[in-house]
Amino acid sequence: MENQAPLHRHFLHYSELPASMRVLYTAAMLILGMAYLFAGIYLFHTYAGKDGDAKSLSYDDLVVAYSGSGKGSKLETALSSAMSDMLPAADRDAIVAWVRKGADPVEHGKTIKPLIEANCLECHDGKSNPHLTNLSTYESMKAVLDRDTGAEIFTLVRVSHIHLFGVTFIFFLMGLIFGHAYVRPVWLKCTLMAAPFACIATDISSWYMVKVFHPFAYLTMAAGGLMALCFTTMWFIAMYQLWIGKTPAVVMERRGVVDTLVG
């Protein structure tokens, strides 16, 4: 496994770092690991139910999230997924039937408004949570009556910039820490460090492309998966070499050389 190429003179293995740095690296990685887990849970909860099946995160979930179900309105999509438990089935069917028949405003006043008032306004009153569509009047409801075309471009732009900044931070930090690991061949180490940056660029671009061509959802999944794989690999190698593994012989030998030079 180990080759004979000398270590770069700027390379320091974890075992050559002061205890304080090793503690800092470990603490940062524990929290980063936790953050990644929570991000995973959040991702699952946000997207798994998009296609009406909340048990798994699938290709269809991503297509519906980014390009819309293309079938019904946003209201219909919501009522058959995340919002389905908010009201009795009979009420749900009545609302869906009304939307499908063209969402008549007069009919809204007679039968639909009371159902919405009873089941939805607790959250969708435009005040308690300003991010949710206000469902209190026919006019304000219109936004969710149009055909479902998925996440709006501007929403994607907002989420994109947050992710690009955030992920760069995470993997820059991770890379700085992982840089002290002894991994050969060197190209593999460099690939593990660089791939997440390529993944986030691919992942984010693919959100927009799914809107145009659905199979790009596979690219979204592959990029997300590869990023998680790189994270996990770097995390475990770093933790192992920090606290469990023996100092590699190559590193030990150099220490001998430095000691004789100094001593």
Nearest to 44 by CA among 30, 56, 52: 56
- Specify burial of residue 97 (Cβ count, 10 A radius: 0-12, 13-18, 19+): exposed
Q: Residue 202 corresponds to which tokens in the numbers above?
A: 């691919």
Q: Provide, rounded to whole angstroms, the least separation between the CB of residue 91 and ligand HEC.
A: 7
Residue closest to ligand HEC, measured at CB: 120
Q: Provide, rounded to whole angstroms, the least separation between the CB of residue 128 and ligand HEC.
A: 8
Distance, CA of 72 to CA of 244 (rounded, Å): 55
Pick the closer one to ligand HEC by CB: 86 or 198: 86
Pick the closer one to ligand HEC by CB: 133 or 247: 133
Tell me if 61 sits within 8 A of 47, measured CB to CB.
Answer: yes
Distances (CA, A) of 175 to 74, 113, 151, 198: 41, 55, 32, 14
Provide the binding-site residues for ligand HEC, judged by CB under 6 A. 74-75, 78-79, 82-83, 86-87, 119-120, 122-124, 132-133, 135, 144
Q: Provide, rounded to whole angstroms, the least separation between the CB of residue 87 and ligand HEC.
A: 4
Q: Provide, rounded to whole angstroms, the least separation between the CB of residue 166 and ligand HEC.
A: 21
Residue 189 CB contacts under 8 Å (≥ 6 apart), including other chains: 178, 181, 183
Pick the closer one to ligand HEC by CB: 64 or 144: 144
Pick the closer one to ligand HEC by CB: 113 or 163: 113
Pick the closer one to ligand HEC by CB: 79 or 227: 79
Distance, CA of 188 to CA of 234 (rounded, Å): 11
Q: Provide, rounded to whole angstroms, the least separation between the CB of residue 213 and ligand HEC.
A: 24
